[in-house]
Amino acid sequence: KAGKAAERADKRAAKAVEEAAKAAQQPQPLVAPEEAWEAWKAQAEAQVQAAALDAQAAWASEAASQQQQRALQQSDANSRIQALTQAAKERKEEERAALRGFEAAKEQRDKQAAYARAQAKTDEARQAVVAVQAAQAIEAAASRAATAA
């Protein structure tokens, strides 16, 4: 935009030069030198003011463009920060879920180990009962055999 404003200012200056050249080639009515000077001076001041306004417009346009660019960059940075923050939250939640899964697996493994130990003790107790019953049966048979003899 600043380049376009500068182009417009250049075109105005070129047009003013062309008009001055045309005016110089045209036969001029007799005008008092002071009046001619004042007219030229007024025209030159108007052109200077127009160029100054164009320059101000170009500066304002450039400033607005830069401000818009900074706002876009800030917005982009904020979006990236938000995305990274969200990714970190998701990763943390995944870690928590994995930890909960690990704890649940450990608890299940501990329960299975306790069950296996209880089962082994139950089996030992059954074997002991069977051994006692077998010993009692042998003793009873021996006692009957002794009585029969």
Question: What is the rounded CA–CA span in Å between residue 81 and residue 78?
Answer: 5
Q: Which of 24-33, 60-69, 112-121 is predicted with the least confidence, judged by mean pLDDT?
A: 24-33
pLDDT tens digits, one per residue of 97-110: 999 999 999 999 99
Nearby residues of 65 by Cβ (< 8 Å), 6 or more positions away: 1, 2
Across residues 61-84, what is the average pLDDT? Answer: 92
Place of tokens 């450039």: 62
Tell me which residue has tokens 């100054």. 52
| Position 2 confidence tier, pLDDT thresholds 50, 70, 90 | low
The secondary structure element, H or E, covering residue 85 is: helix 33-148
Q: In degrees, to the nearest 5, what angle opens at C-alpha 78 toward C-alphas 86 and 83?
A: 20
What the block records as the tokens of 20 is 């001055």
Closest CA to 7 of 64, 65, 55, 59: 55
Q: Which pLDDT tens digit goes with each residue over 16-59?
A: 767 766 666 666 555 566 777 788 788 878 878 877 787 788 88
| More confidently predicted of 14 and 73 | 73
pLDDT at position 3 over 90: no
Q: pTM of whole model > 0.85?
A: no
Q: Which tokens belong to 22?
A: 């045309």
